[in-house]
Structure 1
Amino acid sequence: MDSIDLDVLKTAVHWHQSGHKVLIGTVVRTWGSAPRPVGAMMAIRGDGHIKGSVSGGCIEDDLIDQMRKGELDYRTPDLVTYGVGGDQAHKFGLPCGGTLQVLLEPVRDESCLPELVATLERRELVTRSVDIATGHATLTPSHSGTGVVFDGTHLITQHGPRYRLVIIGAAQVSRYLADMATALDYQVIVCDPREEYLDTWDVSGVETSREMPDDLILRLEPDSCTAIVTLTHDPKLDDMALLEALKSPAFYVGAIGSRLNNQKRRERLALFDLTPDEIARLHGPVGLHLGARTPPEIAVSIIAEMTALRNGVTVTQKKDEDVLEGDACPILTRPPRILSRAD
């Protein structure tokens, strides 16, 4: 789940608990080109205040107008359709012919939104089912990712925790990767026990850790919404993280280095309690082969591969050079220091 969707739910809960009338709007169907995907959410308060978005803005303006005029129903969920014709599609900022349906759901105690927010903050997957006739909602544990099913009688939404990225190493590539991941709404955690690296870290909005990499991975308990990338060029630090990351459900595990270095890394990992299937999950060389040489180019290649996998796109591009992303001279300004726990 993106942080903006979680903010919508939190805001709706806060407004409701403060005594306001509140509706949650969820895009449940689209036809043609729609400005927001199925599952997009917004909260709208009785006085017209909103949080989130279901369109480019015009639909929100119409709902605000109806809300202020008292034309929206607070008793049971209501389905509204926008863009059924070319004129209306143009009026509401939709591409000509595009249509979307929004379910407007009154927020009540029976909506179970506080329980939903609490579950998501524990990083648990959950399915929420809303009976359209009554507005009553139920929550059940889920084992799959996000998704929306609307059959006319029930709205079933699967919610997962916010995506997060764990970066091992606080060097140049890490800075660009952290910035890009933050822009894509990842929660970013950078781990580096080497004080000369982390002491100069200055990327805002990013958590930092001086723990040993394996200790951090074990503490975080990576889930299917977690990506882990090792960027230190120090086999000891990188391998420590990978030994735990590859055994986890993390959707992406990558390690910087050439094909030769990654082959040696796989041979080292095979000496430990990893299965061949677990080792095969490693993306190394990390990232798509873009001919990347500079730190920002390498970061682009990594975030592109992560995005493809996150969106269910099969990555088939081969990295067929001996020296690939992560091995160009600008990345290393000095040899990696081998660090022991005694340090």
Structure 2
Amino acid sequence: MDSVDLNVLRSVLQWRRAGQRVVLYSVVQTWGTAPRAPGAMLALREDGVVIGSVSGGCVEDDLIARLHDGRIPPDGPPVQLITYGVTREEAARFGLPCGGTLRLTEERVGDPAWVAELLTRCEAHQIVARELNLATGAVVLQPASKTDALTFDGKTLRAIYGPRWRLLLIGAGQLSRYVAEMARLLDFEVLICDPRTEFVYGWEEQHGRFVSGMPDEAVLNIQTDERTAIVALTHDPRLDDMALLTALDSKAFYVGALGSRVNSQKRRNNLAQLGLSDQAIERLHGPIGLHIGSHTPAEIALSLLAEIVAIKNGIELKQKRPLQEEV
């Protein structure tokens, strides 16, 4: 689930605890080209204040208008469906792409206990399914897995919340802090391993979870799977290569290491001497990141995460850094 949508739920909880009425909108189905994917949310407070987005266009304006012109009566049904963009004229009116259609649930939030519980579970790095009964408005929370996806059968909406992708950072230096902050916004659970205690200070507010032990132990302890990315960022081969030896033989969908073209080749040679197979070494991304002319830590972090997201989404890397360029 997108971190922006978790912020929507945080606002819902705050507003309901303050006694304000709240309507929660969720995208449940799309046809054609839609601005937001199923699961995207928007919360509308009784005074017209909104947080979140379901279209990025004029649909939000119409939802606010529904509140002010009485189309959302306080005594209405707990949940109802709204569809935008059925006709070409309506699609144009609401700023939807040609042929784009989206269907939303309009849900009056009553007791916010389920919101508080869902947020608590997500903050504990759990993946949660929320089942919304459209006839009664009842909400049930259940454990979910990383491979679960949103489903909607017209009667029940089952939406998935919590980080379904993980990023293990070897090293807790400055660059890792930028990577962690951006990765969190991209719906990654961020894990950090760094046995050097001098680098731990200040991570309390970075929304990352430390994994104890040496880097190779960390790769094993987190039970690396095909939804895990691992990046070595210490510039210390004694730490980076330990992690890479284990990570490159794991199911991780992305394994990378910071370094120049020359250092990356040295690393590959060293890994071969340590007994790693050519097939495993071929999986190593180094230099890391897409070629965007990055120099600052923030730019390097952006470049790295662009590459990781592209691979996660199955996109061919056409903007990979030229081999002759140093990093």
Query: What aligned pairs does 1:224-303 form with structure 2 within 5 A after superposition?
Result: 226-242=228-244, 251-256=253-258, 257-265=263-271, 267-268=273-274, 270=276, 282-287=283-288, 290=291, 302-303=304-305
Does residue 20 (structure 1) correspond to residue 20 (structure 2)? The answer is yes
SS of equivalent to 1:35: coil
Q: 2: CA distance between counterparts of 1:122 and 1:156?
A: 20
User: Which stretch of the first structure deviates more once superposed, 55-64 or 140-149?
Assistant: 140-149
63 and 189 in structure 1: CA distance in 2 versus 1, 3 angstrom threshold? same
Q: 2: CA distance between counterparts of 1:219 and 1:9?
A: 34
Amino acid at match of 2:94: F
Amino acid at match of 1:41: M
Residue in 2 aligned with 1:87? 89
Amino acid at match of 2:63: L
Give the deviation of 1:230 after TM superposition: 0.8
TM-score (norm 2): 0.74
**Any conservation in 2 of the 1:42–1:54 contact (CA below 8 Å)?**
yes
Give the deviation of 1:54 after TM superposition: 0.6
Amino acid at match of 2:102: L
TM-score (norm 1): 0.71
Give the deviation of 1:245 after TM superposition: 5.2
Q: 1:67-111, CA deviations, whole angstroms, 9 ceiling, x for partnerless residues?
A: 234422553211101122222222212223322111112223388
Amino acid at match of 2:34: A
Does residue 214 (structure 1) correspond to residue 249 (structure 2)? The answer is no
114 and 312 in structure 1: CA distance in 2 versus 1, 3 angstrom threshold? farther
Q: 1:142-192, CA deviations, whole angstroms, 9 ceiling, x for partnerless residues?
A: 222463221211111122327564443467866875676577565767766
Query: What aligned pairs does 1:38-53 form with structure 2 within 5 A after superposition?
Result: 38-53=38-53
Give the fraction of aligned pairs with identical amino acids, expressed as a percent: 42
SS of equivalent to 2:131: strand
User: Which stretch of the first structure deviates more once superposed, 30-39 or 104-113?
Assistant: 104-113
**Any conservation in 1 of the 2:167–2:188 contact (CA below 8 Å)?**
yes
28 and 298 in structure 1: CA distance in 2 versus 1, 3 angstrom threshold? same
Amino acid at match of 1:132: L
Q: 1:89-142, CA deviations, whole angstroms, 9 ceiling, x for partnerless residues?
A: 222122233221111122233883222222211111222222221222222222
SS of equivalent to 1:109: coil
SS of equivalent to 2:137: coil
**Any conservation in 2 of the 1:20–1:45 contact (CA below 8 Å)?**
yes
Pairwise CA RMSD: 4.4
Amino acid at match of 2:25: G
Query: What aligned pairs does 1:160-239 form with structure 2 within 5 A after superposition?
Result: 160-161=162-163, 165-169=167-171, 181=183, 184=186, 214=215, 217=218, 221=222, 226-239=228-241
SS of equivalent to 2:274: helix
Q: 2: CA distance between counterparts of 1:68 and 1:157?
A: 29
111 and 266 in structure 1: CA distance in 2 versus 1, 3 angstrom threshold? farther
243 and 32 in structure 1: CA distance in 2 versus 1, 3 angstrom threshold? same
Give the deviation of 1:28 after TM superposition: 1.3
Q: 2: CA distance between counterparts of 1:182 and 1:163?
A: 10
Residue segments in structure 2 that go unaligned for 5+ positions in a row: none
Residue in 2 aligned with 1:335? none
5 and 222 in structure 1: CA distance in 2 versus 1, 3 angstrom threshold? farther
Q: 1: CA distance between counterparts of 2:132 and 2:190?
A: 33
**Any conservation in 1 of the 2:193–2:215 contact (CA below 8 Å)?**
no
Residue in 1 aligned with 2:139? 137
SS of equivalent to 1:241: helix
263 and 26 in structure 1: CA distance in 2 versus 1, 3 angstrom threshold? farther
Q: 1: CA distance between counterparts of 2:53 and 2:292?
A: 38
